[in-house]
Amino acid sequence: MRTSEKGNLQNGYRRIIPSMTALLEFEAVARHSSFTLAARELGVTQAAVSKQIRQLEENIGVQLFQRFHRGVSLTNEGQTLFAVMSESLQKVAAVFDRLTEGSAEQQLVLSTTATFSQLRVMPRLSTLQAALPHIRLRLATQMFTGDLRDHDIDLLVRYGNGKWADGTALHLFDEEVFPVCSPAWLARNQAPDSLEALYGADLLDADATTEGWMTWPTWFRALGGHPPKLDYRLRCHLYTDTIQAALHGHGVALGWGRMLDHLLESGDLVRLSDLVIKPQEAYYLVVPHGRDTTAMVLSLAEWLRSSPG
């Protein structure tokens, strides 16, 4: 082996990352937008932090911060580095967290969308200890469907046809989609007696997602309707916000039955009509390729299928 190749192997990342201390201090400054606050958090002087950042900028030949009289802001290059540093440090912290938790309990990292986490998992947490006494669940909540290429994820909940190239899918449950509202809204308004009458209700909707969820226009068309341009009472980016609006009596939302079963059972929401769509897609628990479908995984799937506690 040539001498230069030996040197490269021995130096490793040090060849391109000259100072981990500087990177940690950079992350703190970027997070606080302040050298002073970063220095206070790190227990060093502001001058020491400023020197480290200046040397880091000189080493990589890029300005990371715009300096102002009352603070700093990231340059475009600084934003790029901060995004990577923030994500990387979170992953490192998570690993340390796991290593220091001991082996009495086994941790499972479950990736779900915010909707599934808030509306399906949270209402069942009271039964988790009894159902899975040796499992410590860590939720990795994503805005949309997660990616199994993230090696920190043990299992993933997806909505779709169950055929994915990156894992083995265990069927959890099918879905039904129907109009829901609060009892308070129904007390103030006459229940629509037809599909056409529903066009004019106080409709609440959420943006379409990568999961393939229906919006009001697609739901109406699936039932053979031809809705006009709909006049929404409220549109939200997140489905969970739409459901909050329905709970507060602001209108009629599309109810994904398996997400809302606890609210329907409690009477906080009511089903507005018998009109329903049963999508071909369903919810699945996906096990990444290379991992076994253990008894623990099957138990978690059964818990996710269960009724709320």
pLDDT at 99: 61
Q: Is 33 exposed, middle or buried (0-12, 13-18, 19+ CB in 10 A)?
A: middle
Confirm if 131 and 253 have CB atoms less than 8 A apart: no
Q: Domain segments of the chain: what residues?
A: 3-98, 104-172+282-305, 177-271
Q: Tell me if 104-172+282-305 shares its fold with 177-271.
A: yes
Of the options 3.40.50.300, 3.40.190.10, 3.40.50.1820, 1.10.443.10, the CATH number for the domain spanning 177-271: 3.40.190.10
Regions in the chain scoring below 50 on pLDDT:
1-10, 103-104
pLDDT at 5: 44
pLDDT at 14: 64
pLDDT at 108: 85
pLDDT at 69: 78
Long-range Cβ contact pairs of 138-142 (< 8 A, separation 24 or more): 138/94, 138/107, 138/108, 138/109, 138/110, 139/110, 139/111, 139/112, 140/109, 140/110, 140/111, 140/112, 141/111, 141/112, 141/113, 141/114, 141/117, 142/111, 142/112, 142/113, 142/114
pLDDT at 159: 92
Q: What fold is seen in the domain 104-172+282-305?
A: D-Maltodextrin-Binding Protein; domain 2 (3.40.190)
pLDDT at 145: 57
Query: Tens digits of per-residue pLDDT, 201-260?
Result: 999 999 876 567 789 999 999 999 999 989 999 999 889 999 999 999 999 999 999 999
pLDDT at 176: 96
pLDDT at 109: 87
Residue identified by tokens 């629509």 is: 192
Domain spanning 3-98: which CATH class is it, in words? mainly alpha
